[in-house]
Amino acid sequence: MRRFTRRAASLGALGASLLSGCGQSSPVSAGGEGLDGATPLPMANARIFKVHERGSYRIVDIEASVVTWGGAAGGPPQRARLVLAPRNAEAPALTGDLAGATLIRTPVRRIAVNDQSHEAAVRALGVADRLVAVGGHASYDNAIRARVRAREIHQVGYGWHQPPTLDALVAARPDVFIARMADLTHTQHMDRVRALGIPVVPTFIDAEPNYMGRTDWVRLVGMLVGREAQAVAFVAEVESEVARLKALSAALPRRSMLWAWYQGSGDRWAVTQRNGDGALIRDANAELVLGAPDDPELDTFSRLSTEQLLEGATNADCWMIRDPLSSVYTDQNVLSRFKAYRENNVFWTHGAKNPNSDSWELWEMGMIRPDWLFGDIVKMVHPPLRDGTWRYVRPETWEAGDGAGHH
């Protein structure tokens, strides 16, 4: 579910020194090995982070391969260790296996974020009033955006677009900065944030190998803000809906789906092939056309040519052809070669744009509610289930101004 235009740099260009305690020579083990006296806290879906309990505090280990957009990992896995210690308890010494870790006193009361998915998590947990800084005024939520415009919330810059604005971040006085970065040039800025005494929580939602792993990041935010019970309930709700949709799909004949966006120039398509986005299709009881084996060292999609689509994808039963920011593909000579086009089974993801803002629900709450997009995919794949409303998807009509953003 990558943003194929403005998120092009995304996770892939993140540098080795972004994470607290990271780097090839770091002694931190993100798998939790060597944590004497610590008890694992089960995470059913997340693979990028793990949590252990020891005494009154939590140890959060984060590890992710840095994958270039549409490409491969650019180096060894990057690691971070966080220590979440209650405000009313004595903080552990950051020595031994906690050396180099970031200490965060919980529950955090003042939160800075630089991505809409972070805003979604705090909204889901009912603590949006604790936001003191966000990326900018493109929030999907009208209330948050109004507070930004009223200068009640500082603007620190979106992580997919720019490094954090340090003056704004310092002025916001956050207890924690939940951050994502766009490229190596931003790394030095994050080092400065930590040097200013602001704890940084790096997030890698896009790097989760399965789409349900994205939802477990709400549990991490729940630990930070003191809303663990609400976070567990949120994850359970998503899991329940996914299970229901999978059962509906399994009862119907298996079909096939192509998920390929035209990239607007150079005869290139962004073709979903693996990992979390590929799992959405497989779990809908569908063959992922042009699919490839899952690989955490590769992005979910690859760039393929029109010729490659014509060679291997013309018999797909249905086709997801573009997202909110993609170009409209209009070559009838090519389109007519595809079964999905001839049978009127081509769709596009409008993403539910907020008509008052340059923001889409798909890339906000939709990042932590994969069941919503999954529900649309299930309907795409299985015509008998095409009743009720669609949330993020509608049939393609080949019009550039096709009403994107309206439910």
Phi and psi at residue 125, to the nearest 5°: -95, 5
Query: How does pLDDT run across 25-72, given as a tens digit for each residue?
Result: 333 445 556 699 999 999 999 999 999 999 999 999 998 876 666 677
Q: Do domains 11-238 and 252-395 have the same CATH topology?
A: yes
Q: Which of 123, 120, 122, 155 is nearest to 137 (CA)?
A: 155
Report domain extents, the chain. 11-238, 252-395
At 6, list the tokens: 């403005």
pTM: 0.89
> For residue 274, what are the contacts with CB-CB under 8 A and spacing of at least 6?
291, 292, 293, 294, 295, 298, 300
- Report d(CA 113, CA 110) in Å as an integer: 10
Least confident of 62-71, 135-144, 398-407: 398-407
* Averaged pLDDT, 127-134: 98
User: Where does 252-395 sit in CATH, by number?
Assistant: 3.40.50
What's the mean pLDDT when you consider all of the chain?
A: 87
**Confidence (pLDDT) at 335:** 96
Residue for token pair 């009509």: 397
DSSP secondary structure, 219-250, as one string: HHHHHHHT-HHHHHHHHHHHHHHHHHHHHHHH
User: Would you place residue 297 in the very low, low, confident or very high pLDDT band (cuts 50, 70, 90)?
Assistant: confident
* Contact between 195 and 172 (Cβ < 8 Å): no
More confident site: 127 or 19: 127
**Confidence (pLDDT) at 311:** 96
Q: Are strands 39-41 and 49-54 parallel, antiparallel or unpaired?
A: antiparallel
Q: Is 21 left (phi over 0), alpha (psi -120 to 50) or beta?
A: left
* pLDDT value at 405 more than 60: no
**Confidence (pLDDT) at 398:** 84
Fold classification of 11-238 (topology level): Rossmann fold (3.40.50)
**Confidence (pLDDT) at 186:** 58
User: Would you place residue 185 in the very low, low, confident or very high pLDDT band (cuts 50, 70, 90)?
Assistant: low
Least confident of 70-84, 234-248, 347-361: 70-84
Q: What is the Cβ-side half-sphere exposure of residue 109, based on CA atoms within 13 angstroms?
A: 4
- What residues form DSSP beta bridges with 83? 59, 103
Q: Where are the beta strands (DSSP E) in 190-300?
A: 200-202, 255-262, 268-272, 286-288
Residue for token pair 């890339």: 363
